[in-house]
């Protein structure tokens, strides 16, 4: 099939490259000329394991094209995927300007019948109807009559595992009203679903809600275990024992039940806020949904307070940081908990020296010259008053503890991901603070 993708971010580029890998011809479009210039040379503008090889192969085999022209993309594909950003406005509402811009371009440009416009961006309930209206209005304005469908196909990939998640999905969700469009989407996804991975068809409002409900449930699990961790600290219980035993219950399961410094990234914070906004707009008190975000904010602040309380006077102290991105295997710094905590520490007069295996460049855009950057994990520790771990990259899990002790001014570790064992740390001579540990 011929496919256009609007937006070459984490979702758009993975979608485009993977559809090309499955034999389709794909044109990926982005209005950011720098991104497209890199992609045309086969360079992926962000870190995502396994993606560069697929991009490079499909460019070479001429199934993957790039363009900065939304108009060219609108006229290229039979299927037109919208994968642009839907960031939060200040009140939590999803900002749909980028989605609507693309819809208008499509409405102004398409000439052939039976184009299928697919919203892959995470969008509030009712957006597909609005996209349909915008396209129809633009078509009507130029006195044309063109048959098209608008489908919602939310994306569930996780950064760091995006290619695998796309190629081997737990499920594919498609909101579609027209039977002819459903048939085409069935064919498009057949390579991914015919070996047992289910595809769920439903109306567009239900598929839009499925995405928000899924992310909100995962965020709720994280906030719940974080709140239980806080209570553990107060009552002398150990969250790691509690979590492991809870997760063994088949009704509960162990995924996303890890206490930490709070969730972040480009999805959970904004999607939880958007669902709360939507509920309130419809006069429903979003009590539980709002609490998820409240707990997450409190978790970050509690971690910062723990550091401040136990490091002594913060002003003038140097804090070494391992891991900046919101999770391992990505350079995405959007809503990373490290940002909030580091900003609190800087405001108190701390100096920060940070190391991250892949996110330094992205972090420089966030912090600029406010913090120092180390190119090697042990370099960050030289002369620092403590170490703070924000991201559970594998190489931080079994470090050279003796070397750490030599490099740090004092053997003080704040572990925001519970990657170390408190007993072992004590035996090794560290003063250790985890999350919800005895």
In the block, residue with structure tokens 């209206």: 133
The closest of 324, 220, 318 to 272, measured between CA atoms, is 220
Q: State yes or no: is 267 an active-site residue.
A: yes
121 or 210, CB closer to ligand NAD? 121
List interacting residues with ligand NAD (CB under 6 A). 6-12, 29-32, 35, 70, 83-86, 98, 101-102, 121-122, 155, 157, 159, 266-267
70 or 434, CB closer to ligand NAD? 70
159 or 227, CB closer to ligand NAD? 159
Catalytic residue (choose from 18, 29, 232, 267): 267
The closest of 381, 19, 26 to 192, measured between CA atoms, is 19
Burial 23-37 (b: 16+ CB within 10 A, else e): ebbbbbbbbeeebbe
The closest of 356, 362, 360, 421 to 390, measured between CA atoms, is 356
68 CB-near residues (< 8 Å, 6+ apart): 29, 30, 31, 32, 33, 36
For residue 286, the Cα-to-chain-centroid distance in whole angstroms is 23
Return phi, psi of residue 63, to 5°. -105, -5
CB 77 within 8 A of CB 27: yes
86 or 418, CB closer to ligand NAD? 86
DSSP 46: S
Q: How far is the CB of 120 from ligand NAD (least distance, A)?
A: 6
CB 437 within 8 A of CB 238: yes
The closest of 281, 52, 97, 68 to 289, measured between CA atoms, is 281
Q: How far is the CB of 20 from ligand NAD (least distance, A)?
A: 17
Residue nearest to ligand NAD according to CB distances in the complex: 9
339 or 377, CB closer to ligand NAD? 339
Return phi, psi of residue 226, to 5°. -65, -40
Q: How far is the CB of 196 from ligand NAD (least distance, A)?
A: 22
The closest of 20, 48, 60, 66 to 191, measured between CA atoms, is 20
31 or 246, CB closer to ligand NAD? 31
The closest of 322, 318, 433 to 384, measured between CA atoms, is 318
Active site residues: 267
């Amino acid at each position: 099939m011929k496919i256009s993708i609007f937006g070459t971010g984490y979702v758009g580029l993975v979608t485009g490259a993977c559809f090309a890998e499955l034999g389709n011809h794909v044109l990926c479009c982005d209005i950011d000329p720098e991104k497209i210039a890199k992609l045309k040379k086969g360079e992926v503008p962000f870190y995502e394991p396994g993606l560069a090889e697929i991009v490079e192969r499909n460019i070479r085999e001429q199934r993957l094209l790039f363009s900065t022209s939304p108009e060219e993309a609108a006229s290229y594909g039979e299927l037109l995927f919208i994968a642009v950003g839907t960031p939060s406005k200040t009140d939590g509402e999803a900002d749909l300007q980028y989605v609507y811009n693309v819809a208008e371009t499509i409405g102004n440009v398409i000439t052939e019948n039976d184009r299928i416009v697919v919203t892959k961006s995470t969008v509030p309930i009712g957006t597909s109807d609005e996209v349909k209206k915008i396209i129809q209005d633009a078509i009507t304005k130029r006195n044309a009559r063109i048959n098209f469908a608008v489908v919602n196909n939310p994306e569930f990939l996780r950064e760091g595992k995006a290619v695998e998640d796309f190629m081997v999905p737990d499920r594919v969700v498609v909101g579609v009203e027209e039977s002819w469009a459903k048939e085409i989407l069935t064919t498009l996804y057949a390579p991914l679903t015919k070996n047992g991975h289910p595809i769920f068809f439903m109306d567009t409002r239900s598929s839009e809600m499925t995405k928000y409900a899924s992310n909100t449930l995962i965020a709720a699990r994280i906030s719940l275990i974080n709140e239980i961790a806080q209570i553990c600290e107060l009552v002398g219980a150990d969250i790691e024992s509690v979590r492991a035993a809870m997760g063994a219950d088949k009704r509960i399961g162990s995924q996303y039940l890890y206490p930490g410094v709070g969730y972040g990234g480009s999805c959970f914070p904004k999607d939880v806020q958007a669902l709360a906004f939507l509920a309130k707009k419809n006069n429903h008190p979003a009590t539980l949904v709002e609490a998820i975000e409240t707990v997450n904010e409190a978790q970050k602040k509690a971690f910062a307070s723990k550091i401040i309380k136990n490091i002594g006077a913060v002003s003038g102290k140097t804090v070494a940081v391992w891991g900046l991105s919101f999770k391992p295997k990505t350079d995405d710094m959007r809503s990373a908990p490290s940002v909030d905590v580091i900003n609190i520490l800087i405001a108190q007069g701390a100096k920060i020296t940070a190391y991250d295996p892949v996110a330094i460049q992205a972090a420089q855009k966030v912090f600029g010259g406010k913090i120092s950057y180390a190119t090697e994990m042990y370099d960050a520790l030289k002369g620092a008053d403590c170490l703070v771990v924000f991201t559970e990259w594998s190489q931080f899990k079994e470090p050279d503890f003796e070397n750490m002790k030599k490099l740090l001014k004092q053997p003080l570790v704040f572990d925001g991901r519970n990657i170390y064992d408190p007993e072992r740390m004590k035996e090794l001579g560290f003063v250790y603070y985890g999350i919800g540990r005895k």
